[in-house]
Structure 1
Amino acid sequence: MTADPTVWRVNGMPLAPATGRGPLDGLRVAVKDLFAVTGFAVGGGNPAWLAEALPAAEDAPAVARLRAAGAVVQGIAHTDELAYSLSGINAHYGTPPNPAAPGLVTGGSSSGPASAVASGHADVGLGTDTGGSIRVPASCCGLFGLRPTHGAVPTEGVLPLAPSFDTVGWITRDARTLAAVGDVLLPPGPALAPRRLFCLGGTSGAAATLGLPVTEVTLSTWDDPDPLLLAFRRVQAAEAWRGQGAWIEAHPRALAPDVEGRFRFGAQVSAGEEADARARIAAWRAELLELLGDDAWLALPAGGPGHPRGLGPAGRDDWRRDTLRCAVPASAYGLPSVAVPTGASPPAGLALVAPPGADRALLALVAERLAGDVSR
């Protein structure tokens, strides 16, 4: 069968074989086009970037670990340009299909890996999550996805966006595979479940399926998310511009206008504004961790459903803000968060957010309570 060019930049049978045997034997991985894969250039979702990139001399550590554990790289899957979008729309390569909701986008920026997993052409989507780019496509496609604690999985060999928030994450059709990948990629950590869940955004019904006591709460940053979203945007954009601004200046109009605009916003962020934004984020993080204490996690919408594939720029901006409201707290605070399907149609998942280092506990709870396969 011909590979869908809106999903895959390049694929094979497989593209790169396993280098060892282990718990992931035979699993097929769709690698987001930000990761180094030996012998292939990183394209970053942009033809001009790809044209100047050299083949990687070695795998990114995350890719190497998966291959050593028995997984194969099925192919390199598309991303939103330089990972700085959330819809899954790429002006150069198209919009990958969402098998769970054909009229809607997959969400991004791990759009290609999510589509490959949702369609059954891969078992694992290896991607990145800076502002929601694992959890949002997982939610929009009815899949499972983990954003780990910031720094828990190495990001070497991965094209950066905003290093203060960048994480390596993954997407699967079932909870047990999600946990199996975690066993390979995550450092050791406790696997103790919380005693209760605090719920935002009317998620108590979905959260109750996990079998824990639930309590509806409110947070100022949820009721009025704009201050947190602005602080996050300033830090993210400032870092993104420092990383890629010189290339963007040298390649005018190489990016879609909305993506380039996000990068150029970073050039306008002053050092004082960035420092103030970081201080605000740190204060809000401390407040949330104090609320959670030692025995509670947070449940909130994971974002989704995806917006209509033909939605115009204004509508996409509104959808983006609503989605970031759900995704940014874990991103800004460096906390682990797992998106799980709820059975809603069209898909819109539930996100659990835990204190730092509780990645394995998140995966253990989800694998125990939600172990069914949601493939279609």
Structure 2
Amino acid sequence: MPESQHPFDRSIWRVLGDPLVPGDPAGPLHGRTVAVKDLYAVAGQRVGAGVAAWLAEQQPVQRSAGVVETLLAAGIDITGITRTDQFAFSMAGRNADYGTPPNGAAPGRIPGGSSSGSASAVALGQVDVALGTDTGGSVRVPASYQAIFGIRTTHDLVDRSGLLDLAPSFDTVGWFTREAALLSTVGRLLIPEPRRRSLAVNRVLIIPELQTSAEQDIADTTTRVADRTAEHLGVPLEEWDIDAGRLDGWLDAFRTIQAYEAWQIRGEWIMAHPGALESEIEARFTAGRDGAAEQVERARGVAGEARATVQDLLSDAVLVQPAAASVPPRADDADRITGVRAGNLRQTCLAGLGGLPSVSVPGLGTGPLPYNICFVGAPGTDVDLVELAERMTSA
């Protein structure tokens, strides 16, 4: 493996090269670089999933994930494979086996997870693009904590072949950049053109219940951005007054299904490897083991109702909301890190339940610590949604 031009920080990188895998020199994006989250298959490499004991048992894969192959064919060089939280079941960015990647925008603060290494590699300028995944906010939150662009794509719109699952009902492909234009360029590569939909916006929405769940500066910026977006599009700004209890019920359903599916996929391995996972993450898996069948079935019913409601609501609208409930907590403040998780999931679960695209956008608010605002649209409107975010950033 060629020696990399970047210093090897094991909290960011599992494998690093210069490049690790070269892209097609004739590709249109030759000269650009990408980091790959350690859930995606890269031919000749193992998939480690952020767990040392898991990595030790893996063999190199024969074929790269579909999106990795597409990026290589476009000429983008793979710089390396980046760290993830253990089995991607966290949003903090801390890893008991490998440490916590640095926050490129707020030193001493957590980077956000589970796509923590990918976000840090972009924020620190080590790569142009980084692949992540987003199940419950794992692109949107680290993008917010590190002041970079990130996208959670429409569920099942982008090829997930060669990607290690967490909870398939919600798992999506995502990526980070420092430039909105590059976020869009990658989207045009990875999102099949026949499945794209135009963004038809007759109104811009905000959700007061989500505003009150976020820190005041973030809420104020969300309102201002929503108002400017409505003015830019020439449509009214409206509020959706969802009841707090109903929203919490949707979040509970999301968490129940996520934990159940995660346990179905990894439970047998976890039982055979006691102590391999950090206790907090293991507890999230075992919650899925302990859930009764009728509880899971009931959660699927609630999630189906939420999906239908949110998709109908956004069929002709764009939602503007906080990307995360808070600015990044200090890396040494364990209680605060635990405390903000529920608030962040409250912000992120709507797009997850609806299978919706959501673009996490920096630079729309000011403050001593970073935070992003999300634009959420109807299924399939990913490319148009990024272009809207780019226009609003410029404005």
TM-score, length-normalised on structure 1?
A: 0.94
Q: Which residue of 2 aligns with 1:133?
A: 138
CA contact (8 A) 2:148 2:178 kept: yes
Q: Secondary structure at the match of 1:168?
A: strand
Change (3 A) 1:296 1:102: same
CA distance in 2, matches of 1:214, 1:271: 44
Maintained 8 Å contact 1:191/1:364? no
CA RMSD, 1 decimal: 1.7
Render the CA deviation track for 1:160-205: whole Å, top value 9, x for unaligned.
1001100111011010000000010001113445243101324220
8 A contact 2:85–2:94 mirrored in 1: yes
Secondary structure of the residue aligned to 2:40 is: coil
Within the candidate set 345, 348, 357, 2:380 is matched to 357
Q: CA deviation at 1:269?
A: 1.3
* 8 Å contact from structure 2 (residues 70, 189) kept in 1: yes
Aligned match of 1:288: 310
The residue aligned with 1:306 is 328
> Residues 91 and 112 of structure 2 are in contact (CA less than 8 Å); yes or no, is this contact kept in structure 1?
yes
Residues 204-233 of structure 1 show CA distances to partners (whole Å, capped at 9, x for unaligned) of 202344423452413436576321221111
Q: 1:228 to 1:192 in 2, by over 3 A?
A: closer
Percent sequence identity over matched residues? 45
Correspondence for 2:92: 87
1:124 paired to 2:124? no
Aligned pairs for 1:19-30 (under 5 A) are: 19=24, 21-30=26-35
The answer to whether residue 224 in structure 2 is matched with residue 205 in structure 1 is yes
> Are the counterparts in 1 of residues 113 and 141 from structure 2 also a CA contact under 8 Å?
yes
Q: Which of the numbers 303, 319, 343 marks the counterpart of 1:322?
A: 343
- 4+ residue runs of structure 1 moved beyond 6 angstroms? none
Distance 1:226 1:305 in 2: 22
> Among 108, 113, 118, which residue is 1:113 paired with?
118
Q: Which segment is superposed worse, 263-272 or 210-219?
A: 210-219
Contact 1:135 1:339 in 2 (8 A): yes
Letter in 2 for 1:260: E
Instruction: Say which of 332, 343, 349 aligns to 2:353.
Output: 332
Match of 1:279 in 2: 301
Residue 252 of structure 1 pairs with residue 259 of structure 2: no
Residue in 2 aligned with 1:143? 148
Pick the structure with more helix per residue. Answer: 2
| Residues in 1 aligned to 2:13 and 2:314: alpha-carbon distance in whole angstroms | 41
What corresponds to 1:243 in structure 2?
265
Pick closer, same or farther for the CA change 1:287–1:224 going to 2, 3 Å: closer
CA separation of 1:222/1:157 partners in 2, compared to 1, >3 Å: closer, same or farther? farther
2:389 counterpart residue number: 366
Which residue does the alignment assign to 2:175? 170
The normalised TM-score by structure 2 is 0.90
In 1, Cα distance between the equivalents of 2:259 and 2:25?
A: 39
Alignment partner of 2:137: what SS?
A: coil
State how many pairs are aligned: 370
Taking a change above 3 Å as real, the CA distance of residues 271 and 339 of structure 1, as seen in their structure-2 partners, is: same
Distance 1:221 1:161, change over 3 A: farther
Q: Residues 238 and 267 of structure 1 are in contact (CA less than 8 Å); yes or no, is this contact kept in structure 2? A: yes
- Per-residue displacement from partner, 1:258-304 (whole Å, max 9, x unpaired)? 000000000011221111111111112222233334x2111110004
Equivalent position SS for 2:300: helix
3-state DSSP of counterpart to 1:49 = helix
How far the C-alpha of 1:236 sits from its partner, in A, is 0.4
* Consecutive unaligned residues in structure 1, runs of 5 or more: none
What's the counterpart of residue 234 of structure 1? 256
SS in 2 for 1:360: helix
Counterparts of 1:139 and 1:261 in 2: how far apart (Å)?
26
CA distance in 1, matches of 2:296, 2:227: 39
- The alpha-carbon distance between structure 1 residues 264 and 233, as it changes in their structure 2 partners (threshold 3 A), is same
Quick one: structure 1 residues 209 and 100, their matched pair in 2 at CA, closer, same or farther if it must change by over 3 Å? farther
Kept after mapping to 2: 8 A contact 1:302/1:326 = yes
Could you list the per-position Cα deviations for residues 312-371 of structure 1 after superposition, in whole angstroms to 9, with x for gaps in the alignment?
A: 2x4322200011111111012211111101243311111111111111211222233435
124-133 or 269-278, larger mean C-alpha shift: 269-278
- CA distance in structure 2 between the aligned counterparts of 1:317 and 1:297, rounded to whole angstroms: 30
Q: Is the 8 A contact 1:222 1:325 kept in 2?
A: no
Describe the SS at the equivalent of 2:62.
coil
